[in-house]
Protein backbone atom coordinates (compact mmCIF):
# COMPACT_ATOMS: atom_id res chain seq x y z
CA UNK A 1 0.00 0.00 0.00
CA UNK A 2 1.45 3.31 -1.01
CA UNK A 3 0.78 6.72 0.37
CA UNK A 4 1.69 9.79 -1.62
CA UNK A 5 3.15 11.86 1.15
CA UNK A 6 3.98 15.15 -0.46
CA UNK A 7 4.30 16.93 -3.75
CA UNK A 8 6.00 19.97 -2.37
CA UNK A 9 8.55 19.31 0.33
CA UNK A 10 9.60 21.57 3.12
CA UNK A 11 12.72 22.60 1.27
CA UNK A 12 10.65 23.69 -1.71
CA UNK A 13 11.66 20.86 -3.96
CA UNK A 14 8.73 19.65 -6.00
CA UNK A 15 8.64 15.92 -6.05
CA UNK A 16 6.55 12.96 -5.16
CA UNK A 17 7.60 11.03 -2.16
CA UNK A 18 6.03 7.93 -0.87
CA UNK A 19 6.34 5.15 1.58
CA UNK A 20 5.66 1.61 0.67
CA UNK A 21 4.95 -1.29 2.91
CA UNK A 22 5.14 -3.87 0.15
CA UNK A 23 8.51 -2.90 -1.19
CA UNK A 24 8.73 -0.66 -4.22
CA UNK A 25 6.85 -3.12 -6.38
CA UNK A 26 3.73 -1.03 -6.99
CA UNK A 27 5.32 2.33 -6.30
CA UNK A 28 6.66 2.97 -9.79
CA UNK A 29 3.37 1.89 -11.33
CA UNK A 30 1.31 4.20 -9.12
CA UNK A 31 3.75 7.03 -9.78
CA UNK A 32 3.02 6.65 -13.48
CA UNK A 33 -0.71 6.66 -12.73
CA UNK A 34 -0.32 10.06 -11.10
CA UNK A 35 2.04 11.36 -13.77
CA UNK A 36 -0.41 13.94 -15.16
CA UNK A 37 -0.92 15.56 -11.74
CA UNK A 38 2.80 15.46 -11.01
CA UNK A 39 3.59 16.99 -14.41
CA UNK A 40 1.07 19.80 -13.84
CA UNK A 41 2.50 20.57 -10.38
CA UNK A 42 6.08 20.53 -11.67
CA UNK A 43 5.27 22.92 -14.52
CA UNK A 44 3.14 25.18 -12.33
CA UNK A 45 5.94 25.65 -9.83
CA UNK A 46 8.56 25.99 -12.56
CA UNK A 47 6.66 28.86 -14.18
CA UNK A 48 5.04 30.55 -11.20
CA UNK A 49 7.68 29.81 -8.55
CA UNK A 50 4.92 30.23 -5.97
CA UNK A 51 6.84 27.98 -3.58
CA UNK A 52 10.05 30.02 -3.62
CA UNK A 53 11.19 32.20 -0.73
CA UNK A 54 14.28 33.64 0.89
CA UNK A 55 15.76 31.01 3.19
CA UNK A 56 16.43 33.39 6.05
CA UNK A 57 17.14 30.49 8.42
CA UNK A 58 20.23 29.42 6.48
CA UNK A 59 21.12 32.50 4.39
CA UNK A 60 21.41 34.86 7.36
CA UNK A 61 24.85 35.12 8.90
CA UNK A 62 24.92 34.00 12.52
CA UNK A 63 27.67 33.18 14.97
CA UNK A 64 27.18 30.68 17.74
CA UNK A 65 29.32 31.17 20.84
CA UNK A 66 29.87 29.60 24.27
CA UNK A 67 28.03 26.44 23.37
CA UNK A 68 27.24 24.08 26.23
CA UNK A 69 25.89 20.65 25.37
CA UNK A 70 24.13 18.02 27.39
CA UNK A 71 23.14 14.64 25.98
CA UNK A 72 21.65 12.07 28.36
CA UNK A 73 20.79 8.59 27.19
CA UNK A 74 17.16 7.68 27.97
CA UNK A 75 16.40 4.36 26.29
CA UNK A 76 16.80 2.22 23.19
CA UNK A 77 13.81 1.88 20.88
CA UNK A 78 13.35 -1.19 18.70
CA UNK A 79 11.32 -1.87 15.58
CA UNK A 80 10.41 1.68 14.64
CA UNK A 81 8.57 2.06 11.33
CA UNK A 82 9.50 5.65 10.44
CA UNK A 83 12.90 6.57 9.07
CA UNK A 84 12.89 9.86 11.00
CA UNK A 85 11.99 10.76 14.56
CA UNK A 86 8.33 11.41 15.19
CA UNK A 87 7.75 15.14 15.80
CA UNK A 88 11.32 16.17 14.96
CA UNK A 89 11.33 19.95 14.56
CA UNK A 90 14.98 20.96 14.49
CA UNK A 91 14.65 21.93 10.79
CA UNK A 92 11.30 23.69 11.22
CA UNK A 93 10.84 27.20 9.81
CA UNK A 94 8.17 29.39 11.38
CA UNK A 95 9.04 32.84 10.09
CA UNK A 96 8.53 32.35 6.35
CA UNK A 97 6.32 35.08 4.91
CA UNK A 98 5.36 33.11 1.81
CA UNK A 99 1.94 31.54 2.05
CA UNK A 100 0.19 29.45 -0.59
CA UNK A 101 -3.40 30.31 0.28
CA UNK B 1 23.46 8.51 31.74
CA UNK B 2 25.80 8.84 28.83
CA UNK B 3 27.48 12.07 28.13
CA UNK B 4 28.40 12.16 24.47
CA UNK B 5 30.12 15.49 24.59
CA UNK B 6 31.89 16.16 27.84
CA UNK B 7 31.38 19.84 28.30
CA UNK B 8 31.33 22.51 31.00
CA UNK B 9 28.62 22.68 33.65
CA UNK B 10 25.25 21.22 32.85
CA UNK B 11 22.61 23.77 32.04
CA UNK B 12 20.19 22.16 34.42
CA UNK B 13 17.48 19.58 34.40
CA UNK B 14 16.03 18.54 31.10
CA UNK B 15 12.39 19.30 30.50
CA UNK B 16 10.20 16.28 30.00
CA UNK B 17 8.85 15.66 26.52
CA UNK B 18 5.49 17.20 25.86
CA UNK B 19 3.82 19.94 23.92
CA UNK B 20 6.47 22.15 22.35
CA UNK B 21 6.78 25.55 23.89
CA UNK B 22 8.96 28.27 22.54
CA UNK B 23 9.50 31.85 23.20
CA UNK B 24 11.78 34.61 22.15
CA UNK B 25 12.00 37.12 24.92
CA UNK B 26 12.73 40.60 23.63
CA UNK B 27 14.98 42.95 25.55
CA UNK B 28 13.22 44.63 28.41
CA UNK B 29 11.98 47.56 26.41
CA UNK B 30 8.60 48.56 25.16
CA UNK B 31 8.78 48.42 21.38
CA UNK B 32 5.67 50.58 21.13
CA UNK B 33 7.75 53.40 22.46
CA UNK B 34 10.44 52.87 19.86
CA UNK B 35 10.21 56.39 18.57
CA UNK B 36 11.13 57.78 21.94
CA UNK B 37 14.50 59.34 21.47
CA UNK B 38 17.10 58.45 24.02
CA UNK B 39 20.43 59.60 22.73
CA UNK B 40 22.20 58.66 25.94
CA UNK B 41 20.83 55.16 25.92
CA UNK B 42 19.68 55.46 29.52
CA UNK B 43 16.78 53.48 30.95
CA UNK B 44 14.75 51.00 28.94
CA UNK B 45 13.88 53.17 25.94
CA UNK B 46 15.64 52.54 22.62
CA UNK B 47 18.85 54.36 21.87
CA UNK B 48 18.39 56.33 18.67
CA UNK B 49 21.44 56.91 16.48
CA UNK B 50 20.95 60.07 14.44
CA UNK B 51 21.72 59.11 10.86
CA UNK B 52 20.81 62.32 9.04
CA UNK B 53 23.08 64.66 11.00
CA UNK B 54 24.47 67.25 8.61
CA UNK B 55 22.10 66.23 5.81
CA UNK B 56 20.58 69.09 3.86
CA UNK B 57 17.47 69.36 1.74
CA UNK B 58 17.40 71.31 -1.50
CA UNK B 59 20.24 71.65 -3.98
CA UNK B 60 22.89 68.96 -3.55
CA UNK B 61 25.78 70.28 -5.61
CA UNK B 62 28.85 68.70 -7.13
CA UNK B 63 31.76 69.75 -4.93
CA UNK B 64 33.90 70.45 -8.00
CA UNK B 65 31.64 72.34 -10.44
CA UNK B 66 28.46 73.08 -8.46
CA UNK B 67 26.07 71.30 -10.84
CA UNK B 68 23.06 69.45 -9.41
CA UNK B 69 22.92 66.89 -12.22
CA UNK B 70 24.24 64.03 -10.09
CA UNK B 71 23.47 60.36 -10.45
CA UNK B 72 24.82 56.92 -9.67
CA UNK B 73 27.42 55.43 -12.00
CA UNK B 74 26.32 51.82 -11.65
CA UNK B 75 29.59 50.54 -13.09
CA UNK B 76 31.69 52.08 -10.29
CA UNK B 77 29.09 52.41 -7.54
CA UNK B 78 30.01 56.09 -7.16
CA UNK B 79 27.97 59.25 -7.57
CA UNK B 80 28.95 61.10 -10.75
CA UNK B 81 28.44 64.69 -11.77
CA UNK B 82 26.67 64.82 -15.13
CA UNK B 83 28.65 67.89 -16.19
CA UNK B 84 32.28 67.54 -15.06
CA UNK B 85 32.21 63.70 -14.62
CA UNK B 86 33.72 64.04 -11.14
CA UNK B 87 32.99 60.93 -9.06
CA UNK B 88 32.71 60.41 -5.34
CA UNK B 89 31.05 58.06 -2.88
CA UNK B 90 29.04 58.55 0.28
CA UNK B 91 30.50 57.15 3.51
CA UNK B 92 29.90 53.55 4.42
CA UNK B 93 26.80 53.74 6.61
CA UNK B 94 27.83 51.13 9.17
CA UNK B 95 31.15 52.87 9.79
CA UNK B 96 29.75 56.40 9.67
CA UNK B 97 27.10 55.72 12.31
CA UNK B 98 28.93 53.08 14.32
CA UNK B 99 26.16 50.63 13.50
CA UNK B 100 28.49 47.82 12.57
CA UNK B 101 29.94 47.32 16.03
CA UNK B 102 30.31 44.06 17.94
CA UNK B 103 26.88 42.40 18.14
CA UNK B 104 27.93 40.75 21.40
CA UNK B 105 28.01 44.16 23.06
CA UNK B 106 24.49 45.06 21.98
CA UNK B 107 22.13 45.75 24.87
CA UNK B 108 18.55 46.93 24.65
CA UNK B 109 17.22 48.35 21.40
CA UNK B 110 19.39 50.53 19.20
CA UNK B 111 17.84 52.05 16.10
CA UNK B 112 18.81 54.44 13.37
CA UNK B 113 16.74 57.62 13.35
CA UNK B 114 15.46 56.65 9.88
CA UNK B 115 13.86 53.58 11.45
CA UNK B 116 11.74 55.59 13.87
CA UNK B 117 7.99 55.17 13.89
CA UNK B 118 6.03 56.74 11.08
CA UNK B 119 3.65 59.46 12.17
CA UNK B 120 0.44 58.92 10.15
CA UNK B 121 -0.38 62.59 9.75
CA UNK B 122 2.95 63.34 8.06
CA UNK B 123 2.46 64.60 4.52
CA UNK B 124 3.61 62.43 1.65
CA UNK B 125 3.83 65.32 -0.76
CA UNK B 126 6.27 67.91 0.48
CA UNK B 127 7.00 71.35 -0.92
CA UNK B 128 10.53 72.75 -1.11
CA UNK B 129 11.72 76.19 -2.10
CA UNK B 130 14.33 76.00 -4.82
CA UNK B 131 17.34 77.87 -3.46
CA UNK B 132 18.53 78.65 -7.00
CA UNK B 133 15.44 80.47 -8.31
CA UNK B 134 12.96 80.61 -5.44
CA UNK B 135 10.27 78.52 -7.11
CA UNK B 136 8.25 76.09 -5.05
CA UNK B 137 8.91 72.49 -6.02
CA UNK B 138 6.82 69.52 -4.96
CA UNK B 139 8.34 66.13 -4.09
CA UNK B 140 6.03 63.12 -3.88
CA UNK B 141 7.85 61.07 -1.25
CA UNK B 142 5.77 58.01 -2.08
CA UNK B 143 8.00 57.21 -5.04
CA UNK B 144 10.99 59.54 -4.87
CA UNK B 145 12.93 61.96 -2.75
CA UNK B 146 14.00 64.11 -5.67
CA UNK B 147 12.32 66.49 -8.09
CA UNK B 148 13.49 68.86 -10.80
CA UNK B 149 12.68 72.53 -10.48
CA UNK B 150 10.35 73.30 -13.37
CA UNK B 151 11.81 76.81 -13.76
CA UNK B 152 15.59 76.53 -13.49
CA UNK B 153 15.91 72.73 -14.11
CA UNK B 154 18.03 72.19 -10.98
CA UNK B 155 17.49 68.97 -9.07
CA UNK B 156 16.20 69.28 -5.52
CA UNK B 157 16.95 66.48 -3.06
CA UNK B 158 15.40 65.53 0.24
CA UNK B 159 18.00 64.09 2.60
CA UNK B 160 16.63 65.03 6.01
CA UNK B 161 14.42 62.45 7.62
CA UNK B 162 10.75 63.21 8.03
CA UNK B 163 8.42 60.95 9.97
CA UNK B 164 6.84 59.34 6.92
CA UNK B 165 9.46 56.66 6.25
CA UNK B 166 10.65 58.18 2.96
CA UNK B 167 14.28 58.72 3.98
CA UNK B 168 16.00 55.62 5.41
CA UNK B 169 19.22 55.36 7.38
CA UNK B 170 21.19 53.92 4.49
CA UNK B 171 21.07 52.92 0.87
CA UNK B 172 22.74 50.13 -1.06
CA UNK B 173 23.56 51.43 -4.56
CA UNK B 174 22.77 49.51 -7.74
CA UNK B 175 25.69 47.40 -8.93
CA UNK B 176 24.16 45.30 -11.71
CA UNK B 177 23.83 47.17 -15.00
CA UNK B 178 20.44 47.43 -16.67
CA UNK B 179 21.76 45.51 -19.70
CA UNK B 180 22.80 42.64 -17.43
CA UNK B 181 19.41 42.62 -15.72
CA UNK B 182 17.60 42.66 -19.09
CA UNK B 183 19.72 39.70 -20.27
CA UNK B 184 18.97 37.78 -17.03
CA UNK B 185 15.23 38.41 -17.34
CA UNK B 186 15.24 37.41 -21.02
CA UNK B 187 17.11 34.22 -20.18
CA UNK B 188 14.70 33.44 -17.33
CA UNK B 189 11.60 33.88 -19.50
CA UNK B 190 13.13 32.13 -22.53
CA UNK B 191 13.46 28.97 -20.44
CA UNK B 192 9.73 29.15 -19.69
CA UNK B 193 8.22 29.91 -23.08
CA UNK B 194 6.36 26.68 -23.87
CA UNK B 195 3.57 27.00 -21.28
CA UNK B 196 3.75 30.79 -20.97
CA UNK B 197 0.54 32.67 -21.71
CA UNK B 198 0.54 33.82 -25.37
CA UNK B 199 -0.58 37.35 -24.45
CA UNK B 200 2.35 37.60 -22.07
CA UNK B 201 4.79 36.40 -24.72
CA UNK B 202 3.34 38.93 -27.14
CA UNK B 203 3.65 41.83 -24.71
CA UNK B 204 6.87 40.80 -22.95
CA UNK B 205 9.71 43.24 -23.35
CA UNK B 206 12.48 43.00 -20.78
CA UNK B 207 13.62 46.51 -21.70
CA UNK B 208 10.68 47.74 -19.59
CA UNK B 209 12.47 46.65 -16.43
CA UNK B 210 12.53 49.31 -13.71
CA UNK B 211 15.23 50.00 -11.16
CA UNK B 212 13.51 50.21 -7.77
CA UNK B 213 14.86 50.83 -4.30
CA UNK B 214 12.69 48.79 -1.95
CA UNK B 215 12.48 49.45 1.78
CA UNK B 216 13.84 46.94 4.28
CA UNK B 217 14.84 46.78 7.92
CA UNK B 218 18.24 45.30 8.66
CA UNK B 219 18.39 43.77 12.12
CA UNK B 220 21.27 42.53 14.28
CA UNK B 221 20.36 40.40 17.29
CA UNK B 222 22.41 39.49 20.35
CA UNK B 223 20.68 36.65 22.17
CA UNK B 224 21.21 33.83 24.61
CA UNK B 225 19.38 30.61 23.80
CA UNK B 226 18.53 27.44 25.67
CA UNK B 227 16.91 24.66 23.67
CA UNK B 228 15.88 21.39 25.25
CA UNK B 229 14.13 18.31 23.96
CA UNK B 230 14.84 14.81 22.74
CA UNK B 231 16.89 13.40 19.90
CA UNK B 232 17.17 10.00 18.25
CA UNK B 233 20.24 8.25 16.89
CA UNK B 234 19.71 5.30 14.55
CA UNK B 235 21.59 2.17 15.64
CA UNK B 236 20.25 -0.34 13.10
CA UNK B 237 17.96 -0.73 10.11
CA UNK B 238 16.69 -4.05 8.85
CA UNK B 239 13.96 -5.62 6.78
CA UNK B 240 11.27 -7.87 8.22
CA UNK B 241 8.73 -10.04 6.44
CA UNK B 242 5.07 -9.40 7.10
CA UNK B 243 3.19 -12.02 5.13
CA UNK B 244 4.09 -11.44 1.49
CA UNK B 245 5.28 -7.91 2.19
CA UNK B 246 8.63 -6.64 3.39
CA UNK B 247 8.97 -3.77 5.80
CA UNK B 248 11.98 -1.71 6.82
CA UNK B 249 12.36 -1.31 10.58
CA UNK B 250 14.68 0.89 12.59
CA UNK B 251 16.27 0.72 16.02
CA UNK B 252 17.30 3.95 17.67
CA UNK B 253 18.67 5.35 20.92
CA UNK B 254 16.71 8.15 22.53
CA UNK B 255 18.52 10.99 24.34
CA UNK B 256 17.50 14.03 26.31
CA UNK B 257 19.25 16.92 24.57
CA UNK B 258 20.05 20.42 25.82
CA UNK B 259 21.95 23.17 23.98
CA UNK B 260 22.75 26.46 25.64
CA UNK B 261 24.64 29.18 23.76
CA UNK B 262 25.01 32.79 22.75
CA UNK B 263 23.98 33.69 19.23
CA UNK B 264 24.82 36.77 17.16
CA UNK B 265 22.50 37.20 14.18
CA UNK B 266 23.95 39.59 11.63
CA UNK B 267 21.98 41.58 9.04
CA UNK B 268 18.68 39.75 9.20
CA UNK B 269 16.69 41.53 6.49
CA UNK B 270 12.93 42.06 6.64
CA UNK B 271 10.65 43.86 4.17
CA UNK B 272 9.30 47.07 5.70
CA UNK B 273 6.58 47.79 3.18
CA UNK B 274 3.24 46.30 4.23
CA UNK B 275 2.47 45.48 0.60
CA UNK B 276 5.69 43.48 0.17
CA UNK B 277 5.16 41.73 3.50
CA UNK B 278 1.99 40.18 2.13
CA UNK B 279 3.35 37.12 0.34
CA UNK B 280 0.25 35.07 -0.25
CA UNK B 281 1.25 33.56 -3.57
CA UNK B 282 -2.33 32.86 -4.61
CA UNK B 283 -2.96 36.63 -4.59
CA UNK B 284 0.39 38.16 -5.51
CA UNK B 285 3.94 37.32 -6.53
CA UNK B 286 5.73 39.26 -3.77
CA UNK B 287 7.46 36.02 -2.77
CA UNK B 288 9.53 36.49 -5.95
CA UNK B 289 11.05 39.70 -4.57
CA UNK B 290 11.58 37.99 -1.24
CA UNK B 291 13.43 35.11 -2.92
CA UNK B 292 16.24 37.25 -4.37
CA UNK B 293 17.56 38.13 -0.92
CA UNK B 294 20.11 38.30 0.66
CA UNK B 295 21.87 41.57 -0.17
CA UNK B 296 25.37 42.60 0.86
CA UNK B 297 23.95 45.24 3.19
CA UNK B 298 27.33 45.76 4.86
CA UNK B 299 28.29 47.79 1.76
CA UNK B 300 25.42 50.24 2.22
CA UNK B 301 26.25 53.91 2.24
CA UNK B 302 24.86 56.89 4.06
CA UNK B 303 21.59 57.96 2.44
CA UNK B 304 21.91 60.49 -0.36
CA UNK B 305 18.94 61.18 -2.65
CA UNK B 306 21.27 61.42 -5.64
CA UNK B 307 21.56 57.62 -5.56
CA UNK B 308 17.88 57.56 -6.50
CA UNK B 309 18.28 59.59 -9.69
CA UNK B 310 16.99 57.49 -12.58
CA UNK B 311 15.39 54.96 -10.26
CA UNK B 312 12.16 54.83 -8.32
CA UNK B 313 11.69 53.97 -4.67
CA UNK B 314 9.00 52.62 -2.42
CA UNK B 315 8.40 54.23 0.94
CA UNK B 316 8.59 52.27 4.21
CA UNK B 317 5.17 52.11 5.89
CA UNK B 318 5.73 49.61 8.70
CA UNK B 319 7.00 50.34 12.17
CA UNK B 320 9.10 48.42 14.65
CA UNK B 321 5.99 47.23 16.50
CA UNK B 322 4.77 45.37 13.39
CA UNK B 323 8.19 44.17 12.26
CA UNK B 324 9.59 43.05 15.64
CA UNK B 325 7.52 39.83 15.86
CA UNK B 326 8.53 38.89 12.30
CA UNK B 327 12.23 39.56 12.93
CA UNK B 328 12.13 37.72 16.27
CA UNK B 329 10.48 34.63 14.74
CA UNK B 330 13.03 34.63 11.94
CA UNK B 331 15.91 35.08 14.41
CA UNK B 332 14.51 32.10 16.28
CA UNK B 333 14.57 30.11 13.01
CA UNK B 334 18.18 31.14 12.42
CA UNK B 335 19.02 30.03 15.97
CA UNK B 336 17.32 26.65 15.59
CA UNK B 337 19.08 25.96 12.29
CA UNK B 338 22.48 27.23 13.39
CA UNK B 339 22.60 24.85 16.35
CA UNK B 340 21.97 21.90 14.03
CA UNK B 341 25.74 21.82 13.45
CA UNK B 342 26.05 20.39 16.95
CA UNK B 343 23.35 17.77 16.39
CA UNK B 344 24.93 15.63 13.67
CA UNK B 345 24.83 12.61 16.00
CA UNK B 346 21.02 12.71 15.99
CA UNK B 347 20.56 11.45 12.45
CA UNK B 348 16.84 10.72 13.03
CA UNK B 349 16.20 14.29 14.20
CA UNK B 350 15.62 16.29 17.36
CA UNK B 351 12.28 17.33 18.82
CA UNK B 352 12.72 20.55 20.78
CA UNK B 353 10.08 20.85 23.48
CA UNK B 354 11.37 24.07 25.03
CA UNK B 355 13.00 26.94 23.15
CA UNK B 356 14.02 29.99 25.14
CA UNK B 357 15.72 32.72 23.17
CA UNK B 358 16.48 35.68 25.39
CA UNK B 359 17.24 38.75 23.25
CA UNK B 360 19.78 40.87 25.09
CA UNK B 361 20.16 43.48 22.42
CA UNK B 362 19.00 44.33 18.93
CA UNK B 363 19.89 46.95 16.36
CA UNK B 364 17.50 48.19 13.68
CA UNK B 365 18.57 50.11 10.60
CA UNK B 366 16.27 51.05 7.72
CA UNK B 367 17.63 50.64 4.21
CA UNK B 368 16.79 51.03 0.56
CA UNK B 369 17.96 47.95 -1.32
CA UNK B 370 18.24 47.81 -5.13
CA UNK B 371 16.06 45.59 -7.33
CA UNK B 372 15.57 45.45 -11.09
CA UNK B 373 11.88 44.71 -11.41
CA UNK B 374 9.94 43.61 -14.47
CA UNK B 375 6.21 43.61 -13.77
CA UNK B 376 3.37 42.25 -15.84
CA UNK B 377 -0.32 42.72 -15.04
CA UNK B 378 -2.22 39.65 -16.19
CA UNK B 379 -5.92 40.03 -16.88
CA UNK B 380 -7.62 36.74 -16.23
CA UNK B 381 -10.76 35.43 -17.91
CA UNK B 382 -12.74 35.96 -14.66
CA UNK B 383 -11.96 39.67 -14.86
CA UNK B 384 -9.45 39.64 -12.02
CA UNK B 385 -5.88 40.79 -12.42
CA UNK B 386 -2.66 39.30 -11.10
CA UNK B 387 0.66 41.11 -10.97
CA UNK B 388 3.62 38.93 -11.96
CA UNK B 389 7.19 39.95 -11.22
CA UNK B 390 10.55 38.94 -12.58
CA UNK B 391 13.10 40.40 -10.17
CA UNK B 392 16.86 40.71 -10.28
CA UNK B 393 18.91 41.41 -7.17
CA UNK B 394 20.88 44.44 -8.36
CA UNK B 395 23.87 43.44 -6.21
CA UNK B 396 24.21 39.69 -6.68
CA UNK B 397 22.35 39.24 -9.98
CA UNK B 398 20.13 36.51 -8.49
CA UNK B 399 17.03 36.28 -10.66
CA UNK B 400 13.60 34.89 -9.88
CA UNK B 401 10.24 35.36 -11.52
CA UNK B 402 6.66 34.40 -12.04
CA UNK B 403 5.55 33.73 -15.62
CA UNK B 404 1.81 33.65 -16.45
CA UNK B 405 0.75 30.15 -17.48
CA UNK B 406 -1.34 29.19 -20.50
CA UNK B 407 -3.66 27.04 -18.37
CA UNK B 408 -5.58 25.29 -21.15
CA UNK B 409 -2.35 24.24 -22.88
CA UNK B 410 -0.83 22.98 -19.62
CA UNK B 411 -4.01 21.09 -18.72
CA UNK B 412 -4.15 19.53 -22.18
CA UNK B 413 -0.53 18.34 -22.05
CA UNK B 414 -0.94 17.17 -18.43
CA UNK B 415 -4.02 15.20 -19.52
CA UNK B 416 -2.05 13.56 -22.31
CA UNK B 417 0.76 12.73 -19.86
CA UNK B 418 -1.86 11.29 -17.51
CA UNK B 419 -3.34 9.03 -20.19
CA UNK B 420 0.07 7.69 -21.24
CA UNK B 421 1.16 7.38 -17.58
CA UNK B 422 -2.00 5.50 -16.65
CA UNK B 423 -1.45 2.95 -19.41
CA UNK B 424 2.19 2.43 -18.41
CA UNK B 425 1.22 2.36 -14.72
CA UNK B 426 -1.42 -0.34 -15.26
CA UNK B 427 1.06 -2.44 -17.23
CA UNK B 428 3.71 -2.06 -14.52
CA UNK B 429 1.19 -2.90 -11.78
CA UNK B 430 0.07 -6.00 -13.62
CA UNK B 431 3.69 -7.03 -14.05
CA UNK B 432 4.30 -6.20 -10.38
CA UNK B 433 7.18 -3.84 -11.15
Which residues of chain B are within 8 Å of residue A76 when distances are taken between CB atoms? 235, 251-254
Tens-place pLDDT, residues B276-287: 888 888 888 999
pLDDT surpassing 90 at residue A21 = no
Does residue B262 form part of some domain?
yes
pLDDT at B153: 73
Number of domains into which chain B is organized: 1
Phi, psi of B6 (to 5 degrees): -60, 120
Contact criterion met (CB < 8 Å) for B348 and A88:
yes
pLDDT surpassing 90 at residue A35 = yes
Q: Is the peptide bond before B294 cis (omega within 30 degrees of 0)?
A: yes
Does residue B14 form part of some domain?
no
**Could you give the 3-state DSSP secondary structure of residue B188?**
helix
pLDDT band at residue B3 under the 50/70/90 scheme: very low
pLDDT surpassing 50 at residue B40 = no
Does residue B303 form part of some domain?
yes
Q: What is the count of residue pairs from A and B with beta carbons less than 8 Å apart?
A: 304
Contact criterion met (CB < 8 Å) for B251 and A76:
yes
Between B50-59, B119-128, B338-347, B357-366, the lowest mean confidence (pLDDT) is in B119-128
Task: Round to whole Å and give the CA distance between B269 and B160.
Answer: 24
- With a pLDDT cut of 90, the percent of chain B lying above it is 53
Contact criterion met (CB < 8 Å) for A76 and B249:
no
Phi, psi of B359 (to 5 degrees): -80, 115
Contact B390, B184 (CB under 8 A): no
Average pLDDT over residues B140-144: 71
> Mean pLDDT of all residues in chain B?
84
For the ranges A31-35, B212-216, B282-286, the maximum mean pLDDT occurs at B212-216
String of DSSP letters for B98-118:
TTTS-GGG--EEEEEGGGSPP
Q: Give domain limits for chain A.
A: 2-51
Between B318 and B37, the more confident residue is B318
pLDDT band at residue B423 under the 50/70/90 scheme: very high
pLDDT at A68: 97
Average pLDDT over residues A45-49: 95
Q: Residue B351: which domain range? A: 21-402
**Could you give the 3-state DSSP secondary structure of residue B419?**
helix
Amino acid sequence: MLTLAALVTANDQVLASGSSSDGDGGFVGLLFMLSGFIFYALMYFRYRNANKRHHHESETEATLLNLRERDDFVQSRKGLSNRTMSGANNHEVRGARRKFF
Amino acid sequence: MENLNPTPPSPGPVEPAGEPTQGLRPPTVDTDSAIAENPDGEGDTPRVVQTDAGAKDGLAKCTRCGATEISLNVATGNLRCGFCRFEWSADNAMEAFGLGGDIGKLEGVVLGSGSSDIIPSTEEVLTFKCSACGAEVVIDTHSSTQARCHWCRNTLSMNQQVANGAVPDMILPFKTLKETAVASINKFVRKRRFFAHPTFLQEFNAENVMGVYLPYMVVDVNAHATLSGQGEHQTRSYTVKNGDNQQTKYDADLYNVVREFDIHVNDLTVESSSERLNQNSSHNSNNIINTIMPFDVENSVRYDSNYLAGFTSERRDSNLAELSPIAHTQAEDVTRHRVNDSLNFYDRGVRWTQEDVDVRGERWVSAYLPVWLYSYQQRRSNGKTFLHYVAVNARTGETMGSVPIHQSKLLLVSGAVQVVGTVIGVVLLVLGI
